[in-house]
Structure 1
Amino acid sequence: MSENANTIQTLNDLLADEHLMTLAEVGEQFSVPRTKIGDYLNLHKLVAVKQGASRLIPAALVRDLDSPSKFVAGAITVLADGGYTDEEILLYLFTPDETLPGRPIDALHGHGAREVIRRAQSMAL
């Protein structure tokens, strides 16, 4: 199995229990057109996983918000600007890290947000 195939399998394992939302569902939650969600993806304010021809956004990225979280968007942007692929960004955000504790995505919605972004900045150098 290639490195990319291993990454995708690991990502699929990490996201197996996650609720994945279509771009239209996220657009409805944010009260914006689906195309605006595509813009968020292109600007690295959100990130999606590909399943077949579809791009799906893990619900943990958007929680019950009405727009992208500045901390989630900040971490994604920093990692993307540092050369990380969407798959690598999702791996980082959803891999449990006992030093946080928990997963970076959960810390981004709580008191650990600045630490996650600081770590993302050091990873992206």
Structure 2
Amino acid sequence: MTENDHDTDTLVGEWMTIKDVARALNTSPNRVKQYIADHKLLGVRRKGELCVPAAFIAGDDIVKGLPGTLTVLADAGFSTDEALQWMFTPDDTLPGAPIQALTENRGTEVRRRAQAMAL
């Protein structure tokens, strides 16, 4: 595990395997992998297994506003690691981390900040 992996793990906290995400979303692991490819979710390898931050899943769905935000970040050239860092790093102007703001239904503010960084 690299230092960057450790930093990301500290920020993200809990991870879910692709199978766990598929169960939570009542879909197939292949569909979850497609969500990752389509920037609806972010997936990274942890201990050899593809995982998704647990904070990206709310009940039986993807957190509202997350896919649009991840698309904006991808279009801005953010790598997966950079997007994860941004999503989980507290921002005093929100307040809280962008993922926290999304779970609190403040997606417009989050996307505004993401779009501003893309300029």
> Are the aligned partners of 2:17 and 2:50 in contact in 1 as well (CA < 8 Å)?
yes
Structure 1's consecutive aligned runs of 4 or more residues displaced over 4 angstroms after TM superposition are: none
Distance 1:38 1:54 in 2: 12
1:62-101 equivalences under 5 Å are 62-64=57-59, 66-101=60-95
User: Shift of the alpha carbon at 1:69?
Assistant: 3.2
Which residue of structure 2 aligns with residue 118 of structure 1? 112
Residue in structure 1 matching 2:45, options 41, 50, 56: 50
Cα distance in 2 between the residues matched to 1:7 and 1:21: 19
Q: What is the TM-score when the length of structure 1 is the normalising length?
A: 0.85
Decide whether the 8 Å contact of 2:22 with 2:28 is kept in 1. yes
Distance 2:107 2:17 in 1: 25
AA partner of residue 12 (structure 1): D
Return 5+ residue gaps in structure 2 as ranges.
none
Instruction: Deviation per CA, 1:32-78: give whole Å up to 9, x if none.
Output: 001000000000000023213211111111121x2323401111111
Count the aligned residue pairs. 118
TM-score, normalised to structure 2, is 0.89
| 1:8, distance to aligned residue in structure 2 (A) | 3.5
